[in-house]
């Protein structure tokens, strides 16, 4: 959400049934949170309801890939193209992939959208010795900005902090799992 440069009148659409981290990310940046309904069969956001909630102030769609199933990214990307923001152009689709990894149609979760955010935690599909995460994107300018945000702002002309894993957390990705 930091990378969007949100203003108080900006809106981000997020599913109503969700863990609090995604909506709080929007609110933490001072933007207006707009909840959308979910598909009762998948618990992913309902694309038709997302489309109904778009206004000229909508800046992003923030679907959550739920319980191992991908959000309907192709539908959401199509909606984002059809309803551009009057100043910022096409809406950004940012996937929250904390609860899913794997395939989506002909590709993988994390490939579709402006970016996808993965969470590494003992309660998630990917784990570390504590907390951690990863962001996937094909946008080189966004990647540069995200590296700057992570590393005290030194790679991008933006605010940053230290959002890095400890050496022990980073090394846990290399440790083989032994069965007893």
3-state helix/strand/coil string of 32-48: EEEEECECCCCCCECHH
pLDDT of residue 18: 83
Nearest residue to 96 (alpha-carbon basis) of 145, 45, 50:
45
For each successive 10 residues of the chain (180 residues), what is the average pLDDT?
A: 94 92 93 96 94 98 88 96 96 89 69 87 62 85 86 66 63 49
| Rounded alpha-carbon distances, angstroms, from residue 32 to 5, 14, 18, 24 | 13, 11, 17, 11
Options 124, 164, 174, 178, the catalytic residue: 124
What is the pTM assigned to this prediction? 0.82
Q: Look at residue 72 in the predicted model and tell me its pLDDT.
A: 94
Residues 19, 44: Cα–Cα separation, whole Å: 12
Closest to 11 (Cα-Cα) out of 50, 65, 39, 44:
50
Q: Which domains does the chain have, with CATH numbers?
A: 7-138 (3.40.640.10)
Residue 174 CA to chain centroid, in angstroms? 25
Q: What is the pLDDT of residue 150?
A: 76
124 is catalytic: yes
How far apart, in whole angstroms, are the C-alpha atoms of residue 66 and residue 62? 12
């Amino acid at each position: 959400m930091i990378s969007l440069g949100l203003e108080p009148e900006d809106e981000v659409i997020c599913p109503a049934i969700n863990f609090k981290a995604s909506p709080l990310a929007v609110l933490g940046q001072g933007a207006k949170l707009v909840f959308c309904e979910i598909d009762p069969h998948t618990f992913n956001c309902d694309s038709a309801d997302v489309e109904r909630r778009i206004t000229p102030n909508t800046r992003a769609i923030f679907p959550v890939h739920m319980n191992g199933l991908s959000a309907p990214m192709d539908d959401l990307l199509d909606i984002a193209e059809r309803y551009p923001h009057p100043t910022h152009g096409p809406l950004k689709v940012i996937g929250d992939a904390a609860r899913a990894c794997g395939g989506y149609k002909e590709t993988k979760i994390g490939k579709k959208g402006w970016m996808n955010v993965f969470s590494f935690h003992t309660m998630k599909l990917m784990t570390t010795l504590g907390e951690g995460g990863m962001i996937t994107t094909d946008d080189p300018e966004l990647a540069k900005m995200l590296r700057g945000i992570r590393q005290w702002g030194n790679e991008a002309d933006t605010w940053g902090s230290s959002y890095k894993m400890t050496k022990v957390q980073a090394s846990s990705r290399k440790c083989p799992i032994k069965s007893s």
